[in-house]
Amino acid sequence: MEKKRIVTGDRPTGKLHIGHYFGSLKNRVKLQEDDKYEQYILIADVQALTDNFNNPEKVRKNVRELVLDYLSVGINPEKTTIYIQSLIPETAELTVFYSNLVTIARLERNPTVKTEIAQKRDLFGESVTYGFLGYPVSQAADITAMDGTIVPVGEDQLPLIEQCREIVRKFNSIYGDVLKEPEAVLSDARRIKGLDGNEKMGKSLGNAIYLSDSVEEVNKKVMSAVTDPGRIRKDDKGNPDICMVSYYHNLFSKDEYKNICEECRNGQRGCVACKKQLAQNINKTLEPFREKRKYYEQHPEIIDEILIKGTEKARITAKETMKKVKKAMKLDYFEK
Ligand code: SF4
């Protein structure tokens, strides 16, 4: 049976945090073990430049950081192909071809792009760049270049995959049945809130626990987490439903969770001890990640080798796709 190809990826713009772990990484580690799938992870450096064009050093530095995060959580390069977007020139070529198949108005209506442009007013002012507005087109090129049929996404990413499907349908209707229409698969993982209770966890919000955080950093961050504000004394009855410590216990202390909530409600648990227990459990989860990261940090040549090998493999697929695309578009001059 032919394996379904999964294409997924991240922009190399910063360290990954536990929200990323529960949101996508854990799922990727699971999927690479499933014989039905072949997984490709794209390090989207070109896409990262669409809103970091003035900071190329940041993007470059984070390429290797991203691989360190992947390897530390258990992404296995023998089972998952990790590759760099800018080293696949076919995706840039495809982006140019696809740009004829989508209108400016359609891109401006894309809800994901619309929200992101609004969030980036500081960078773009009143007028967004051509590159940023068109990043869904380049994303369609990334997916189709790899013959991707499955794209795991969060709900907020669905409009991007719909845009890709539209481009594929348009291409196939004009040039013939060449491209595969990818399917978005909604990950069952929910978005993880920040330590301050914010719906989003992120660097700019200062409310994230990173996969690479030290024991001390985790301890300090957990101590700052928002708890039930109504609790003053240790024996006050608390409400774990409005406490971020309880929220994280539900992720990291599954077996003890019921008991923790009961003790909190009955005023039998102090917040400081409760936080210490949580920090301990988060550190227990992160410890094997830290060990693996340390090993790869000491062997940067292995990271390079993984990226070179992964990119070579991805390039072969991209070249095959490009051959079919150019033939269909009558651009296969001098091809025998
Ligand atoms: Fe939150 Fe624990 Fe304090 Fe209850 S005891 S409010 S769950 S930190």
pLDDT tens figures, 70-112 = 999 999 999 999 999 999 999 999 999 999 999 999 999 999 9
| pLDDT classification of 9: cutoffs 50, 70, 90 | very high
Q: Please state, for a pLDDT cut of 70, what percent of the chain lies above it.
A: 99
pLDDT mean over 279-300: 97
In this structure, whether the domain defined by 4-193+299-328 belongs to CATH 3.90.1150.10 is answered with: no
| pLDDT classification of 247: cutoffs 50, 70, 90 | very high
Higher pLDDT, 261 or 189: 261
Domain ranges in the chain are 4-193+299-328, 213-294
CA atoms within 13 A on the CB side of 256: 16
Report whether residue 264 contacts ligand 1, using a CB cutoff of 6 Å: yes
| pLDDT classification of 207: cutoffs 50, 70, 90 | very high
**How much is the pTM?**
0.93
Q: Please state, for a pLDDT cut of 90, what percent of the chain lies above it.
A: 84
| pLDDT classification of 189: cutoffs 50, 70, 90 | low
Which residues, at least 6 apart from 27, have a Cβ–Cβ distance to it below 8 Å?
152, 187, 189
Q: What is the 228 CA–ligand 1 centroid distance (Å)?
A: 7
Strand order across the beta sheet in which 4-10 lies: 80-84, 37-43, 4-10, 150-153, 183-186
Q: What are phi and psi of 264, to 5 degrees?
A: -65, -50
Q: How far apart are CA 26 and CA 172, in angstroms?
A: 35
Report whether residue 44 contacts ligand 1, using a CB cutoff of 6 Å: no
Nearest to 166 by CA among 109, 94, 101: 101
Looking at residue 190, its pLDDT comes to 66
Ligand 1: nearest atom to the Cα of 274: 2
Output the six-digit token pair for 335.
């091809």
CATH of segment(s) 213-294:
1.10.240.10
Is the Cβ–Cβ distance between 108 and 133 less than 8 Å? yes
Q: What is the 101 CA–ligand 1 centroid distance (Å)?
A: 54
Helices then strands, counting H and E runs in the chain, come out as 16, 5
| pLDDT classification of 201: cutoffs 50, 70, 90 | confident
204 has pLDDT over 80: no
CA 92 to chain centre: 21
Report whether residue 244 contacts ligand 1, using a CB cutoff of 6 Å: no
Looking at residue 188, its pLDDT comes to 64
Looking at residue 68, its pLDDT comes to 98
Report whether residue 269 contacts ligand 1, using a CB cutoff of 6 Å: yes
